[in-house]
Chains A and B, each alone.
Chain A
Amino acid sequence: MGAIESGFIGQSVRRKEDARFLLGAGQYTDDVTLPNQTHAYFLRSPHAHAKIRGIDTGKAKKAPGVIAVYTSADLEGVNGLPCGWLITDVDGTPMKEPPHPVLAKGKARYVGDHVALVIAETQNQAKDAAELIDVDYEVLPAVVNVVDALKPGAPQIHDEAPGNKCYTWAIGDKSAVDAAFAKAAHVTKLDIVNNRLVPNAIEPRAAVATYSRADDSYTLYVANQNPHVERLLMTAFVLGLPEHKVRVIAPDVGGGFGSKIYLYAEETAMVWASKRVNRPIKWAAERSESFLSDAHGRDHVTHAELALDKDGKFLALRVHTTANMGAYLSTFASCIPTILYATLLAGQYTTPVVYCEVTAAFTNTAPVDAYRGAGRPEATYVIERIVHQAGAEMGIPQDEIRRRNFIRTFPYQTPVALLYDTGGYDACLDEAMRIADVKGFAARKSDAAKRGKLRGLGYAAYIEACGIAPSNVAGSLGARAGLFEAGEVRVHPTGSVTVFTGSHSHGQGHETTFAQVVATRLGIPIENVDVVHGDTGRVLFGMGTYGSRSLAVGGTAIVKALDKVIAKGKKIAAHLLEAAESDIEFKDGKFTVAGTDRSKAFGEISLAAYVPHNYPLDKLEPGLNETAFYDPTNFTFPAGTHICEVEVDPDTGVVSIVSFSACDDFGNIINPMIVEGQVHGGLCQGIGQAMLEHCIYDSESGQLLTGSLMDYALPRADDVPSFKVETKVTPCTHNPLGAKGCGEAGAIGSPPALMNAVMDALSSVGVTHLDMPASPHRVWQAIQSARA
């Protein structure tokens, strides 16, 4: 690690981006106002499933202020929205990929499906005009539950997907698993639902699209996590525009959590329309539109079985999952319940054989895609709930059953494709138990019992695969994109630096973390480093931010560019100092001839590069500006243990979190303050899933019943405790920063930790089954049923 370990590394540097956010000077998409701007409004289907027999836009087009009204009939030559990952069915055929039209064509397939685009002088005029559009719907029966969608006779959503099936996919050695089960001393069985969630970044999605006749180019401001990917998908696959004629800017983005990865219909239609109306077009989702049309998360129904020997050693895991894709395949929908889910089912354990079969199906609901954790929370939830239940059934303490099965030698090849490079699972478990004061739990439990309350303690030892991903591995698994990252280090003549990264920050603090890496490596003040992201017009390329990949992949690309800057600096210094290049050392911002006091400061070298009077022009180009692309050789594997203690009031069903303790191993940490903040936020989202959040569609009408913040319970400040957070470090072995990623861990470990705590608390009253969210209503009902 050398120089990387000193300087600003490991320091809780206060964030460079905070001043603008705190002063109200952030620039989010909806803050962008362009001259002569128009406003867009999308008319959405009020029906979950309906034939569109005709659309009459005549009255709307004549309404005050209306500039244009478009329907699918107008979008000639515009393709559907693509899916970026091809999953192959167990029968060898490709997954079913029905068309995903930008505006509904012939049929609307979920409540909120886009039917028409109205563009007017003001937002109110666009809305008023939309009410004048007459859509002749023939309402069809709808199906919203994924299990129901696969039943014979279910409403058929796409002609291209008979029986609503998208694919059945499997991983693992089925016959070996069956053989292991035949020899098991104990088998634990579990049926669980991973509840559907709505991401709800506090900034609703928004876009401003503009076209310039001067050079036949487009600019799109959009709340998005990966502007280059957005541009690539939109131009190459949907609109057929030359990529270099479209600039996508994702300015300050108010949270993503996955929901802003995807190419959506709204901005695509707006870019297309901006040339037709030849004026800028603005749209910002109302929260109710976000509920209807942002890609949702989770929504799995799973049956799992764990085979154990008499000592509680895991012999095999067998999992069958049904995953809801929603009405259409969103950008990465297909890989979430497969590649990012089933490959994690070994968890932290030496389970020798694992088999998982996944059936994905279409329903009349909003598309489902990655949401913080994306597949890995679902996998962890299956593993850690079934391990908890196995421990409870066999009378083995929860820490002990995990210790008996931990992987302790690395690298470790799991039976489900992944190769863990490093880890230290005992250390995280020990530390989590220490900060959770597990030793004092028995006394606290008996004290609670005296007050008529039920205490429970729940563990979750999670692992995730981050740093996504080696492109060739992803490609062999069906990815239709590369998964590297790009970075550029532009050293200015006076030695200050602008860094361009393909990663995108929408809360993660890259402007600070990446600057810490650069300032440390170059030995310059952190004020002399600025980080630019989120603009295809400024950043060379980028795959963007998701899957906790920014530091491990995007940070490494910057390190590789820094290596080139320093290597070139050494050549320049060797010339200026009249020494051999091999004798030049770079440390603390100085190029020095080894063993002498002869040196040149970093700023002197950069100035020489741009004012090359005394310069080896015959051998070296002027300038000091280096780029690098980094494609990782493996995933990274953050892991840890979360322990939750709850107290349940059996009279009301109210679950109170007494404490939540997390010990995580994210590899090397650049900024502990930012990392802790990421953990806090993830924990809160996971607690939200486990206690509060549940997206519900009416099973008859297909209407979204939880369509506002009045009906869908996001965690509020008084729903969660302060958290106890610690870290242990085993550095990642295959990137120079030794970093693994920290963005999703909280949301992965916390749901099973909390639910296991609730199950532990309720075990004394005989409750054996409970699905998330553990709302007072559900908990109370479970207690009453158990008592009956």
Chain B
Amino acid sequence: MSIPLALTVNGKAVKADIDPRLLLADFLRTTLGLTGTHIGCDTAQCGACTIHLDGRAIKSCNVLALQAQGADVVTIEGLAESDGTMHPMQAAFKECHGLQCGFCTTGMVMSAIDLVARHPNADEKTIREELEGNLCRCTGYHNIVKAVQQGAAAMAK
């Protein structure tokens, strides 16, 4: 059985007939080839699959693709400008060495942007608490916190 799905992904209208049990993360990765969204666990704990659904950061492994019917989805591939200029949060992660292996990074950046939208002047404690849903095994979070602070300042400009 397949069911029609229509939504917007990174500003473009997308239509597909999909298996109803397809997860949004798999739809993005496999059907659309947007492999910047990563899958790191099976219990919605690691946050590597974080994307924006109608402006909110969500874990796309925990949502059926059909639940995104008519929604506006933004993935990591949709952040940079068309000439490749990075979003200020992406640039801040690079500048602060907020990434190592890169696997958690895309979800981390999506969460960070959402965090800053809700807490534009977040202090270190707030940032650490807000990043609870994103696991990183490489950086020890030290430089991620710095990157979020620097990214927040750049986004405010």
A residues sitting closer than 8 Å to B (CB atoms) are 12, 14-15, 17-28, 30-31, 33, 124, 200-204, 252-255, 257, 284, 286-288, 506-509, 673-674, 676-677, 680-685, 708-710, 714-718, 720, 722-723, 746
Give complex CA distance A757, B122 in Å: 31
- 10 A-B pairs with least C-beta separation: A24-B36, A254-B103, A21-B102, A684-B140, A507-B101, A507-B100, A680-B140, A24-B76, A709-B45, A31-B35
Instruction: List B contacts of A19 (CB < 8 A).
Output: 86, 94
Partner of B140, one of A14, A124, A746: A746
Q: CB-CB < 8 A to B103: which residues of A?
A: 26, 28, 201-203, 254-255
Partner among B34, B124, B134, B137 whose Cβ is within 8 Å of the Cβ of A24: B34
> B43, A508: Cβ atoms under 8 Å?
no
Is B127 an interface residue when CB atoms closer than 8 A count as contact? yes
Per the bound structure, the CA–CA distance linking A26 and B94 in Å amounts to 14
> In the complex, which residue of chain B has the Cβ closest to the Cβ of A710?
B43
Contact assessment for A124 and B135 in the assembled complex, using a CB-CB cutoff below 8 Å: no
Q: Say yes or no: is B116 at the interface (Cβ < 8 Å to chain A).
A: no
How many Å from the CB of A708 to the closest CB on chain B?
A: 5
Would A718 and B129 count as touching, CB distance under 8 A? yes
Question: Whose C-beta in chain A lies nearest to the C-beta of B76?
Answer: A24
Q: Which residue of B lies closest to A199 (CB)?
A: B137
Given contacts A14-B95, A674-B97, contact A23 B143 (CB under 8 A): no
B139 at the interface (CB under 8 A from A): yes
Please report the C-alpha to C-alpha distance between residue A200 and residue B86 in the assembled complex, in whole angstroms. 29
Q: Shortest distance in angstroms between B111's beta carbon and chain A's nearest beta carbon?
A: 10
**How many cross-chain pairs have Cβ atoms below 8 Å apart between A and B?**
187
Interface centre among B94, B135, B141 (most CB of A within 10 A): B141
Binding site for A on B (CB under 8 A): 19, 21, 29-30, 33-43, 45-46, 48, 75-77, 79-80, 84, 86, 90, 93-95, 97, 99-106, 109, 124-125, 127-129, 131-132, 134-145
6 A-B interface contacts by CB (under 8 A): A12-B97, A23-B90, A201-B101, A288-B42, A506-B101, A683-B140
A722 contact from B21, B48, B142, Cβ within 8 A = B142
Say yes or no: B132 contacts A716, CB within 8 Å: yes
Q: Is the CB of A720 within 8 A of B41?
A: no
B36 A681 Cβ-Cβ under 8 A = no
A22:B132 contact, CB within 8 angstroms: no
Known: A24-B76, A708-B45, A709-B135. 15 other contacts (CB 8 A): A14-B97, A18-B94, A18-B102, A21-B99, A22-B86, A23-B77, A30-B39, A203-B38, A255-B103, A287-B41, A287-B45, A676-B97, A718-B125, A718-B132, A720-B141
Q: Which residues of A lie under 8 Å from residue B80 when comparing CB positions? A: 23
The smallest C-beta distance from A315 to any residue of chain B, in angstroms, reads: 38
Contact yes or no, A722 B42, CB < 8 A: no
Q: Give the distance to chain A from B108, nearest Cβ to Cβ, in Å.
A: 10
A203 near B21 (CB under 8 angstroms)? no
Chain A residues contacting B46 (CB-CB under 8 Å) are 202, 287, 709
* B43, B79, B93: the one within 8 Å of A18 (CB): B93
From A24, A255, A509, A717, give the contact of B35 (CB < 8 A).
A24
Contact B76 A23, beta carbon cutoff 8 Å: yes
Q: Are B128 and A203 within 8 A (Cβ)?
A: no
Bound CA span A509–B94, Å: 12
Bound-complex Cα distance A746 to B141 (A): 14
- Pick from B21, B124, B142: contact of A680, CB below 8 A: B142
- A202-B136, A710-B43 given; A14·B94 CB < 8 A: yes
**B21 nearest in chain A by CB position:** A124
Instruction: Kindly provide the distance from the CB of A166 to the nearest chain B CB, expressed in whole angstroms.
Output: 29
Residue pair A22, B140 in contact (C-beta under 8 Å) = no
Q: Is the CB of B99 within 8 A of A203?
A: no
